[in-house]
Chain A
Amino acid sequence: MFLVTELVALLATNLILTQALGTSTLFIAAGNKKNLLWTAITITVFTSVGSGAAYIINWLLPDTFADLTLLFYTLMVGAIYVILLTALYFAGSDSFETTRKYVHVSAFNCAVMGTLFTITDRADAYPQFNTFFNFVFSGAEAGTGFIITAFMLTAAFRKLNSAKVPASFRGFPAMLVYLGLISMAVYALR
Chain B
Amino acid sequence: MNNKKAVLLKGLLGDNTVLSSLMVISPVIVCGNTLENAIALIYAFSAITFFSVIIGSFVPKRLPYAAKIIIYAIISSIVYIPVKTVAREFFPDVVTHVGIYFPLLAVNSLIVVQSETKFYRMSRASMIPSLVFYILGFDVVMIVTSFIRELLTYGTINGKLVDADTLISGLGLPFGGFILLGLMCGIYRKVRSVIRRDSGETGGDGNVSGN
The residues of A with any CB-CB pair to B shorter than 8 Å are 17-24, 27, 30-31, 67-71, 73-75, 77-78, 81-82, 85, 104, 107-110, 113-114, 117-118, 121, 157-158, 161-163, 166-181, 183-184, 187
Residues of chain A with a CB closer than 8 A to B22's CB: 23-24, 27, 172
The answer on a CB contact under 8 Å between B26 and A177 is no
Among residues 100 to 115 in chain B, which have CB atoms less than 8 Å away from a CB atom of chain A?
A: 100, 103-104, 106-109, 112-113
Residues of chain A with a CB closer than 8 A to B144's CB: none
Q: A21-B26, A78-B70 are in contact. Are A177 and B179 (CB under 8 A)?
A: yes
Q: How far is the CA of A52 from the CA of B25 in the complex (A)?
A: 27
The answer on a CB contact under 8 Å between A70 and B80 is yes
Question: How far, in Å, is B63 (CB) from chain A's closest CB?
Answer: 13
The answer on a CB contact under 8 Å between B186 and A180 is no
Q: Which of B69, B170, B183, B187 contacts A177 (CB 8 A)?
A: B183
B157 interfacial by beta-carbon distance below 8 Å: no
The answer on a CB contact under 8 Å between B193 and A168 is yes
Give the contact-size bracket for chain B. 35 or more
Q: Which of B26, B77, B113, B176 contacts A19 (CB 8 A)?
A: B26
The answer on a CB contact under 8 Å between A70 and B206 is no
Contact with A along B136-178 (1 / 0, CB 8 A): 0000000000000000000000000000000000100111111
Q: 25 interchain pairs (CB within 8 A)? A: A18-B174, A19-B26, A31-B208, A68-B81, A70-B77, A74-B70, A78-B70, A85-B66, A104-B65, A104-B69, A108-B107, A108-B112, A117-B100, A117-B103, A121-B100, A168-B189, A168-B205, A170-B211, A172-B22, A172-B206, A174-B182, A174-B186, A176-B179, A180-B182, A184-B170
Question: How far, in Å, is B43 (CB) from chain A's closest CB?
Answer: 17
Question: How far, in Å, is B19 (CB) from chain A's closest CB?
Answer: 9
B122 interfacial by beta-carbon distance below 8 Å: no
Question: How far, in Å, is A117 (CB) from chain B's closest CB?
Answer: 4
Q: A113-B103, A168-B190, A172-B185 are in contact. Are A71 and B206 (CB under 8 A)?
A: no
Q: How far is the CA of A18 from the CA of B30 in the complex (A)?
A: 9
